[in-house]
Structures are given as C-alpha cells and as structure tokens.
Structure 1
Amino acid sequence: MLFSEQFITTIILTTLIGSYLIDTIADFLNLENLNHPLPKEFNNHYKPEKYIESQTYLKVNTKFGFITSSIDLIIMLLFWFSGGFQFIDAFVRSFNFGSIVSGLFFTGILLFLKLAISLPFSIYSTFVIEEKFGFNKTTPKLFLADLIKSIVLSAALGGILLSFILGFLEFGGRFAWIYCWAASAVFL
C-alpha cells in the first residue's frame, strides 16, 4: 500500500478543516470591508439606501453561511470519528451487492443524510432571509417541486457518472484514478 490509512485520514481532515478556515477567514475579511460608504462616483447610479441594504443582505447571508458551514463541519467530524462511515459501509455490504451497486447505495445514503441536514437551513434561507429582503418568489409548493426535480436529476446523472467512476476504479487497473478524474472533468 502506497499510503497508510492514517496518512490518508490526515490529508482528508486537513483539507476539510483547512478549506473551512480559508472560507471563514475570507468571509470575515469581506465583512470587515463592508463598512465603507458608497463611493461618490456611484452617487448618481446607486441609491445610498440600496447600497446599505445590499451590505446588510450580504452580512446576514455571510453570517448564516458561517453558521451552516460550522454545523456541517461539526457534524462531518462527529460522523467521521463516531464511525458513521464504517457503519454505513457495513450496512451496505451486508446486502452482498456488487461493488458498483454497493458504492451507489453508500453514496446515496450519504447524500440523503446531507440533504436531511441541509434542508432546514435551505428552508430558512429561502423563506426567512430571502423573504425579509423581498427576494423570495418561491412558494412552499414550488420549493418542494424544485427539491424533488433536483433529487431526481442528481440521482439520474450523478448515478450514471458514479457508476462509470466505480467501474473504472474496479476494472481500470493501476491508472484508474486518471480515467476517473478525466471523466469527471469532462462530465462536470
């Protein structure tokens, strides 16, 4: 084995936490620079009250994004360290499907859990934050219809791509990861 399990775990966790920290620092730097008044050159093109409202909207969304990304990271780390991935893997393997079908089910379960966690935040963002600033044109019925369409399209297109990737990984030999990367780059 080229890399140890501990090394791979360290790389994944460092990437997750590092990405979170970089995004958070960038967001807070952006928030710090929002307090500047509207430049005089834009006075004839942009109303000062609209400028203040856009700053407020950005602040609210950035702070809400910080909350959701923090909760996402905490849940991911808890899931990781409590053996959630191993539990789902053992559950899926207990059905004795082939590796491709097992991979599809494993990924589907993870995506369903992610959807269940993110759905309340999405509802709040759409029906509270967007509504507060007058941007929400979505009804609950339309929100649900869009959600269902998104799930169906993601399952169909993502399932096809993931099937090819899993097949390449199983039968592609030593350089399978290159084929998978290329297929993902073309498909996405």
Structure 2
Amino acid sequence: MNLFTWLFLLAVTLSTALRLYLSQRQIRHIRQHAGSVPAAFSHSITLPQHQHAADYNIARQQLGQWQTIADTLLLLALTLGGVLQWLWTRLAASGLDGLPQGIALIGCVGVISALCSLPFSLYGTFVVEKRFGFNRMTWPLYMADMLKGNLLALLIGTPLVALVLWLFTAAGALAWLWVWLSWTLFSLLMLWAYPTLIAPRFNRFTPLADPALRERIDQLLQRTGFESDGVFVMDGSRRSSHGNAYFTGFGKSKRIVFFDTLLTQLEPAEVEAVLAHELGHFKHGHIRQRMWTTFALSFISLFILGWLQGTPAFYLGLGVQSMAPALCLLLFMLAAPAFTFPLTPLFSHLSRRHEYEADDFAARHSSAGNLVSALVKLYRDNASTLTPDPLHSRFYDSHPPASLRIAHLERSTS
C-alpha cells in the first residue's frame, strides 16, 4: 500500500459515509414533517397527498442507500480487490493485446457495472415506481430500451474508446490534450445528434397539435426572440406518469419538448409559463455556461490523467500491477468520483441560482402566478417532497426547495 492507496481509501470512505449520512438525514427530516402540509401548500395539496410524497421519497432514499453500498463494494472489488488486474491478465491469456485488449477490458467493466446496477433499476421501476402509481413501463418496453441502449453504446462507444486509447498510445506527452479536443468535438456532435437521431429511437416526438396552445407558444417565442426547430410532444406516458418539459439541441437543431403527461396536468397558461422558464435558461446563457464548465473540468481531468498515466505508483496503489492506457483510464474514471464528490454542493448552488434566474425571466415574459400554480401541480403530481432536509438540499438539489421557490416567485408579483 502506498500514498495513492491511502488517499483512495480515505476518499472512498468519506464520500460513502457522507452520502449515507445525508440520505439518512433526508429520511428523518421527511418523516418528521409528514404529519402536516406546509402552510404555503395547504390550499392545493392535501395531507394524504403530502404523506404519499413523503413515503415515495423515503422509499427512493432507502433504495439509493443500498445502491451506494453496492457501488462502493464494486469499486473496491475492481481496484484493490484485483478484479481489473485479473481481467487484464485473462484477456492477455486469450490472445488479445494492445488496442483490442484495452477495448475488451473497458467493455468487460461496462458489462459488470451494468449487471450490478440492473437489480436496482428493476426494483426502482417495477417495485418503487409501481407501488406509488408512477410506473407505466412494461417488461417488453424495458427490455427493448435496454437492448437499444446497449446497441447504441456499442456502436458509438467502441469507436470513441478506440480513438482515445490510440491517442494515449501514439500522441506522446500531449495525448491528453488531443483526447480532450476529440472529446469536446464528440460532445458537440452529440448535442446535435441526440434530439434528431438518438432520442427518436426511444420515444415518439410529434409536433404540438393544439392550435390554441401553439398560438400562445408562438407569441411567447416572438416576445422573447427565440427560434427553434419546432415544438414537440413526447410520449413520456409510455414509461411514467411523471410530467416534464425540456429544451435540447443547439443552433438550428434546438427543440422544445413537452411530455404528454405535462400537457394533461397543466392549463395552457401554465404550460406557457413553464416554457418561459425553460427559455430563461437559454436567454441567460445557462446551457452555454454549463457546457463550457464541462469542457473546462474535462480539460483539468485529462491533464491529471496524462500525468498519472506514467506514474507506476498510481497503478500499484489501486491494485493493478500492469501499466496500459486502458487500465489508467479505467482506474481514473473509477476513483475520480470519490475525490470530486465534495464539489457537489458548489455545482448544486450554481444550478439553483440558474433556476431562480429562469423563474425571474418567466415572471417578466409570462406570468409568475401561472408558474406558481404550474409548479404546485407538478410538485403534487410528481410526489416531490415539500420538506427536504436543508443540508441534503444544499448538497444535492439542482432546484430550490419548493417553499423557497414559490416564495421567490410570489415576491415578484407583489
């Protein structure tokens, strides 16, 4: 055991303990406040609905705790437990070498990770979501989604992995920089390809047909100077009764997408207010800011990876005796989340600030009152907790807690 081993064990122990501690705080806080509806919501959400949401969120937290433990055990088995080294040795014994060996190793680890997460996905979908009335996923649809997802990962991921491993072998000291440039270009390509080529493989997207709602949306787009490739309705009800809306793509491939479940939950004026919020993210440059932040973090990460690639103590400290680009890449990807987990509240804070800015934009260009009524309906129908633990919320939540967000919007109307 060397310094890398001790740092790795410390990071894994602290991050796992913190995850479980925050989750337990969330469970305890929700239980303590399940007996009464917060005053701001007492006229729109009943006590049984509030308690239903509490039970739902507790069940999700408990499942998450078990998955956290399982993920930690898998991480330790792959690294210090020697599974990575064993896989590498077995692949070499089978006659693989160089680039094919590296691609096969990453594929094997991907399969192992997927198999280990499958029970939690199945339980979450067919037990937790079903128990609380949200699941509409059928077994054939689940299997079809899994098959298509794995096929896409194989078709898209294999060439990308091959390119990355080849660059680390052939590009010398600046290989990390070439990998970063390749990854950045690939990410930009996916921003274009996802809404037009990938997402339609999983869901149906049809142009918004309601003429009155379409007219209302067109007027909002004109007021805000926004151009898009279209407004679409996605058949989210095939999988879940949760409602949502999102904005995707960039350039001429920008799309506005509403879940069909959302359109059944909200009135046209409320749908307009939700869309105004989403447009606020674009107008404030939030999507661009997040994209550049991702690129900057990947630049730093790949620079560190480039240094670690030639450091034998890094491999030995994480349970691997061999040195190869594929092993270095996997070890880095496995270990990095434990070290970066303390940064989570920073990014959550920035995300919540963006949500407030988007809400302010919606209040100026649509109606704060309509956005409030829409959010309350979504909190109720999606069984969102109205009483999150403050520390858990500050650490994880990408959106402001319901009570604070509603109060912020109501102040804008006064």
**Bucket of the pairwise TM-score, normalised by the shorter protein:** 0.7 to 0.9
2:55 aligned residue: 56
Listed as ranges, the gaps of 5+ residues in structure 1 are none
1:23 aligned residue: 19
Could you tell me which amino acid in structure 2 is paired with residue 16 of structure 1? V
Change (3 A) 1:92 1:11: farther
Could you tell me which amino acid in structure 2 is paired with residue 26 of structure 1? L
Q: Tell me how far 1:115 sits from its aligned partner.
A: 1.6
- Taking the aligned partners of 1:162 and 1:12, their CA distance within structure 2 comes to 25
The answer as to 2:37 corresponding to 1:41 is no
- Taking the aligned partners of 2:117 and 2:126, their CA distance within structure 1 comes to 14
- Deviation larger for 15-24 or 155-164: 15-24
| Structure 1 length-normalised TM | 0.85
The answer as to 2:82 corresponding to 1:86 is no
- Deviation larger for 116-125 or 51-60: 116-125
Report matched runs for 1:127-166 at 5 Å. 127-166=126-165
Deviations 1:29-54 (A, max 9, x none): 32232132321111122222212111
The answer as to 2:119 corresponding to 1:120 is yes
- Taking the aligned partners of 2:41 and 2:142, their CA distance within structure 1 comes to 36
2:73 aligned residue: 74
- Taking the aligned partners of 2:162 and 2:15, their CA distance within structure 1 comes to 28
- Taking the aligned partners of 1:142 and 1:28, their CA distance within structure 2 comes to 33
Change (3 A) 1:175 1:25: farther
Higher relative contact order (CA 8 A, sep 6+): 2
Deviations 1:93-136 (A, max 9, x none): 23444422211100111111112222122111111111111111
- Taking the aligned partners of 1:182 and 1:56, their CA distance within structure 2 comes to 46
- Taking the aligned partners of 1:182 and 1:12, their CA distance within structure 2 comes to 28
Q: Tell me how far 1:168 sits from its aligned partner.
A: 1.6
Q: What SS does the aligned partner of 1:81 have?
A: coil
1:177 aligned residue: 176
2:275 aligned residue: none
Deviations 1:122-169 (A, max 9, x none): 111111111111111111111111111111112222222212211221
Could you tell me which amino acid in structure 2 is paired with residue 72 of structure 1? D
Listed as ranges, the gaps of 5+ residues in structure 2 are 188-414
Q: Tell me how far 1:79 sits from its aligned partner.
A: 3.9
Change (3 A) 1:170 1:132: same
Change (3 A) 1:186 1:59: farther
- Taking the aligned partners of 1:109 and 1:51, their CA distance within structure 2 comes to 44
Give the CA RMSD over aligned residues.
2.2
Q: Tell me how far 1:28 sits from its aligned partner.
A: 2.2
Q: Tell me how far 1:82 sits from its aligned partner.
A: 3.2
Change (3 A) 1:16 1:158: farther
Q: Tell me how far 1:60 sits from its aligned partner.
A: 0.5
- Taking the aligned partners of 2:18 and 2:180, their CA distance within structure 1 comes to 25
Q: What SS does the aligned partner of 1:38 have?
A: coil
Q: Indicate the structure (1 or 2) with the bigger Cα radius of gyration.
A: 2
Deviations 1:19-75 (A, max 9, x none): 323322322232232132321111122222212111111100101110121022123
- Taking the aligned partners of 2:44 and 2:18, their CA distance within structure 1 comes to 34
Change (3 A) 1:103 1:9: farther
- Deviation larger for 98-107 or 75-84: 75-84
Q: Tell me how far 1:182 sits from its aligned partner.
A: 4.5
